[in-house]
Amino acid sequence: MSTAKRGNEAEAMVLGALVKRGFEVLVPFGEGQPYDLAVDLGGRDFLRVQCKRAWPMPGCLVFNCRSTDHGRGPQSYAGLADIFGVYFPQNDRVYLVPIDGVAAFEGRLRLQRPLNNQRRGIRFAQDYEIERWDRDSLRNHLGRLSAAREPELNFA
């Protein structure tokens, strides 16, 4: 399967999972947005979702946390998207992972406990399953992000 087809599959699976959970989802027109989907949280709140397809590593699922924007090299999604929608085909599950909740280059979620029983600094996949997120928890996440952002003023 080509890279584009894998990306399309991930986007379709994340979109379907969000709609199945009752979220209203918007799809940006055309190419060039730094996010794939937007979730309408009501009022003026929209959550920008960047879709990713994960692959297995021993005990983990792994996904890229940077864009592959041609000509500029890998770019961080920080400030451009709010959350990763991660599809893992090996278990046919979707995870919602805050952009600021993973490393800048590569995201890892543990599927199994580490052999040394370490818990500090471990992100367990079950904590990010889409079923654990509702409109209020997504709005709270967005509010936390908004408080950290500087207001953008554009009088042009």
Average pLDDT of the chain to the nearest whole number: 86
Task: Note whether 110 and 123 are within 8 A (CB).
Answer: yes
pTM of the predicted protein model: 0.86
Say what the pLDDT of residue 116 is.
74
DSSP 89: T
Indicate whether 156 pLDDT > 90. no
User: Could you give the CA distance from residue 75 to residue 105 in angstroms, rounded to a whole number?
Assistant: 9
Counting every residue, how long is the chain?
156
Confidence class for position 145, pLDDT limits 50, 70, 90: low
